[in-house]
C-alpha cells in the first residue's frame, strides 16, 4: 500500500508503555515508536525500581546482606539467598549440614513453583484471561503457606544464612508439603483444560516472539527463555550446586522459542520441581540445620562468584573482598536483565498486542533488573 509522506506521518506515534501499566510487571517503561499498531522501535527505560542494593552491600557486614537478597527478586527470593549463602560458604570454606542442604533445595523448589504459578496467572491476565490467575493464586497460596511455616515469611524469606538455614521444619510441615505435591499434580489437569488447550491462548502465543538460540546467547538470556529456544542450559544440571547432583529430574526443552514454548517449559518445570521436592523429602537426613560460623565473616582478599538457577534464569553473585568484614564490591547479576535486553531486537515490527504477550512470556521482575 503506498501512502504519501504526509499521510504516513499521521500514523506514527510515540507511545509510553509504563512505568505504570498493568502489563509491565512492575515499573518498566518502554518508550515505543509506533506506526499504527506496529512497533517500529523500543527503548526500555529502567531505573524506576532502583534500590541501591549493591551500594548497601558496601556499607554493612557480609551477613547483613541476607536482608537484601530476598528483596531483589521477590517473586522467587530463595535462590538469591541461596546464591549468596553459597558464595560466602565457598569463600570461607564452610560446609552446611546435610539437612540444611536438603531443606534449601525443598524451599527453593517450592519457591520456583510459587513463582511460576504467579507468572502463569499474570501472563494469562496480560493476554486478557481473568480466570486462570484465580486458580494460580489459589495454588500459590498453598505453597506460600508452607514457605511461611518454614521460613517465617510469605514473600521475602530471610531464612538462609551462611552455614545453613536459620530454622528447622517439623513433621507437620513435611506432611503439608506431601499433600501439596499430591494436590498440585491433580491441579495440572485443570491448567491443561483451561489454558494449554485453549484455542485463543494458542493463537495468541504460537509463533509469537520467536527467540533464536543465537539471539538469546548474544544477549545473555538464560533460564526458561533460553531453554524454550532449544539450549539445554540449566545451572542445576550444567554446574550443579547445593546438592542438586543427587536428584533425578529432567530439564524441559523447547524447540520453537515462541511464547507458547516458554509457557510449556515453565509448566513442565513445575512438575520437575515437585519431583525434586519429593525426592528430597524421602531422603531428608536428620541432624542440625546450621553450622557454627564465626560472628564476623571476613573472606580472604580476592574475587568470589556463585551461580544458581533462579526461576527466571542464571542468578550470579560476584564479590570482591579486601579481607575485611565488609564487602568491597558485590555485583548481582540478575536473570531478567539478559532476558529484557532481547526486547529491542526481537520486537521490531511486531503488533503491540504481540509485544505484550512477548513481554509477559519473558517473566520479568523489574526491581531485579534495577537492583
Partner 1 sequence: MDARQRGFHLQVRAGKDCLECCAAILRDANLYPVFMTAVHAQPHFLLHYQFAAAEQNFRVMLSAPADLENRARSLTQLFPGLQWHEREAHEMFGIVFENHPDLRPLFLCDEDRGLHPLRKDTGRLKTPEQLGCAFKPGTAGEAS
Partner 2 sequence: MEHPGNRQSACCEGLPVAADTPLPQPLRLAETILDACRANSLWPLTFGLSCCAIEMMSAGMARFDMARYGAEVFRPSPRQADLMIVAGTVNKKMAPVVQRLYEQMADPKWVIALGNCAVSGGPFAGEGNYAVIEGVDRLIPVDVYVAGCPPRPEGLLEAIFTLQKKITGRRHPFPQNRHPQGQD
Q: Which residues bind partner 2 (CB under 8 A)?
A: 19-22, 26-27, 47-52, 55-56, 59, 67-68, 71, 74-75, 118, 133-134, 137-138, 140-141, 144, 154-156, 367
Q: Which residues of 127-161 are buried (b: 16+ CB within 10 A; e: fewer)?
A: bebeebbebbeebbebbbebbeebbeeeebbbbbb
Q: Is 203 near partner 1 (CB under 8 A)?
A: no
**41 or 141, CB closer to partner 2?**
141
Q: Is 58 near partner 1 (CB under 8 A)?
A: yes
Find out whether 320 and 300 touch, Cβ atoms under 8 Å.
Answer: no
Q: Is 190 near partner 1 (CB under 8 A)?
A: no
CB of 193 to partner 2, least distance (A): 19
Map grid coordinates 511461611 to a residue: 148
CB of 262 to partner 1, least distance (A): 17
CB of 227 to partner 2, least distance (A): 25
CB of 304 to partner 1, least distance (A): 6
**155 or 267, CB closer to partner 2?**
155
Q: Using CA atoms, how far apart are residues 249 and 108, in angstroms rounded to an integer?
A: 15
**φ/ψ of residue 103, rounded to 5:** -65, -40
Q: Using CA atoms, how far apart are residues 62 and 88, in angstroms rounded to an integer?
A: 8
Q: Using CA atoms, how far apart are residues 120 and 323, in angstroms rounded to an integer?
A: 44
Interhelix angle 259-282/171-191, nearest 10 degrees: 150
Q: Is 39 near partner 1 (CB under 8 A)?
A: no
CB of 276 to partner 2, least distance (A): 24
Q: Using CA atoms, how far apart are residues 330 and 54, in angstroms rounded to an integer?
A: 6
Hey, what's the cell of 10?
Answer: 499521521
Question: In what helix (H) or strand (E) does residue 343 lie, and over which residues does it extend?
Answer: helix 343-346
x/- map, 304-343, partner 1, by CB under 8 A: xxxx------x-x-x-xxxx----xx-x-x---xx--x--
**54 or 168, CB closer to partner 2?**
54
Sole window of 51-59, 96-104, 163-171, 352-360 interacting with partner 1 (rule: CB under 8 A): 51-59
- H-state helical runs in 130-193: 132-151, 171-191
**138 or 303, CB closer to partner 2?**
138
Find out whether 352 and 39 touch, Cβ atoms under 8 Å.
Answer: yes
Q: By the criterion CB under 8 A, which residues form the site for partner 1?
A: 46-47, 50, 52, 54-55, 58, 87, 90-91, 93, 217-221, 226, 231-233, 238-239, 300-307, 314, 316, 318, 320-323, 328-329, 331, 333, 337-338, 341, 345, 370
Amino acid at each position: 500500500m503506498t501512502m504519501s509522506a504526509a499521510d504516513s506521518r499521521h500514523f506514527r506515534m510515540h507511545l509510553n508503555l509504563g512505568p505504570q501499566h498493568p502489563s509491565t510487571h512492575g515499573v518498566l517503561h518502554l518508550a515505543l515508536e509506533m506506526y499504527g499498531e506496529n512497533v517500529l522501535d523500543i527503548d526500555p527505560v529502567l531505573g524506576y525500581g532502583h534500590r541501591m542494593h549493591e551500594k548497601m552491600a558496601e556499607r554493612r557486614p557480609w551477613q547483613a546482606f541476607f536482608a537484601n537478597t530476598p528483596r531483589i527478586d521477590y517473586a522467587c527470593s530463595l535462590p538469591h539467598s541461596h546464591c549468596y549463602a553459597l558464595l560466602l560458604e565457598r569463600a570461607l570454606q564452610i560446609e552446611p549440614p546435610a539437612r540444611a542442604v536438603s531443606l534449601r533445595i525443598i524451599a527453593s523448589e517450592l519457591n520456583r513453583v510459587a513463582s511460576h504459578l504467579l507468572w502463569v496467572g499474570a501472563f494469562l491476565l496480560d493476554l486478557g484471561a481473568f480466570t486462570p490467575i484465580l486458580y494460580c493464586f489459589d495454588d500459590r497460596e498453598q505453597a506460600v503457606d508452607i514457605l511461611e511455616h518454614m521460613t517465617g515469611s510469605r514473600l521475602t524469606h530471610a531464612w538462609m544464612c551462611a552455614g545453613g538455614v536459620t530454622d528447622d521444619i517439623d513433621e507437620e510441615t513435611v506432611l503439608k508439603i506431601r499433600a501439596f505435591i499430591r494436590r498440585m499434580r491433580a491441579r495440572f489437569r485443570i491448567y491443561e483444560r483451561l489454558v494449554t488447550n485453549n484455542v485463543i491462548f494458542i493463537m495468541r502465543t504460537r509463533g509469537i516472539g520467536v527467540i533464536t538460540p543465537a539471539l538469546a546467547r548474544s544477549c545473555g538470556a538464560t533460564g526458561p527463555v533460553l531453554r524454550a529456544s532449544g539450549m539445554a542450559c540449566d545451572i542445576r544440571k550444567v554446574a550443579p550446586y547445593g546438592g542438586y547432583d543427587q536428584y533425578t529430574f529432567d530439564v524441559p526443552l523447547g524447540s520453537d522459542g515462541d511464547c507458547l514454548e516458554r509457557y510449556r517449559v515453565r509448566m513442565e518445570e513445575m512438575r520437575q520441581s515437585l519431583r525434586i521436592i519429593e525426592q528430597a523429602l524421602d531422603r531428608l537426613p536428620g541432624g542440625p540445620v546450621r553450622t557454627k560460623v564465626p560472628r564476623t565473616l571476613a573472606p580472604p582478599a580476592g574475587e568470589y562468584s556463585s551461580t544458581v538457577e533462579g526461576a527466571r534464569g542464571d542468578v550470579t553473585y560476584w564479590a570482591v573482598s579486601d579481607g575485611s568484614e565488609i564487602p568491597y564490591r558485590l555485583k548481582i547479576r540478575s536473570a531478567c536483565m539478559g532476558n529484557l535486553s532481547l526486547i529491542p531486537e526481537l520486537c521490531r515490527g511486531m503488533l503491540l498486542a504481540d509485544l505484550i504477550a512477548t513481554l509477559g512470556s519473558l517473566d520479568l521482575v523489574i526491581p531485579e533488573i534495577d537492583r
